Amino acid sequence: MTSTEQRIPAASRPLTDGVLIETDVLCDFLVARNSCLRKVLGLYPCYTTVINASELFAIGKDDAERNAMMALLSGIRVLGLHPKYALKIGEIARNNRARGMKERDAIVIGTAIASRLPIVTEAWAEKYKGYGGVRVVSQSEMTNTRVNVQI
């Protein structure tokens, strides 16, 4: 981490490093013409986790749906469970166990924090903001944000 990055809080950094796309946004892209992901894909490097990709494939009913999911994920980098994430995931899970955080959420949040990526979600925006420590951007915020504005 550079000295500049240390001085700029994560919530104030621009999204030029990319964004982590949650499962709800991936699903929305597959069914809605006006999904915010269409805009996001053109603006920022997009990532998701192996957990999100697995959840997506779990709901695929047939080969046509799975092929659409594969096409979508071909434009997004899927982050696996690298050992560098384990420390942050464990910390997040431990610190939020009393709040009822599930391991699935700890994996997604921990991966986002370790990768210094904000999470784009609508369904889990308030829940994730409540845990703290991770920058969360709702779909509606992404849709209403101009290209040159830091969010």
Measured distance CA(91)–CA(114) in Å, rounded: 11
Pairing relationship of beta strands 119-120 and 136-137 according to DSSP bridges: parallel
pLDDT in tens, 11-25: 444 555 899 999 999
CB-based contact 66:60 (threshold 8 Å): yes
Predicted confidence at residue 83, as pLDDT, reads: 87
Predicted confidence at residue 110, as pLDDT, reads: 93
Measured distance CA(102)–CA(115) in Å, rounded: 20
Q: Taking each helix axis from N to C terminus, what angle separates 83-96 and 103-114, rounded to the nearest 10 degrees?
A: 130
Predicted confidence at residue 145, as pLDDT, reads: 57
The sign of the CA dihedral 16, 122, 130, 145 is: positive
Domains of the chain with CATH codes: 20-141 (3.40.50.1010)
Q: Which regions in the chain score pLDDT beneath 50?
A: 1-13, 146-151
pLDDT in tens, 40-57: 998 899 999 999 999 999
Predicted confidence at residue 3, as pLDDT, reads: 40
Can you give the pTM of this predicted structure? 0.82
What is the 3-state secondary structure of 2-24?
CHHHHHCCHHHCCHHHCEEECHH
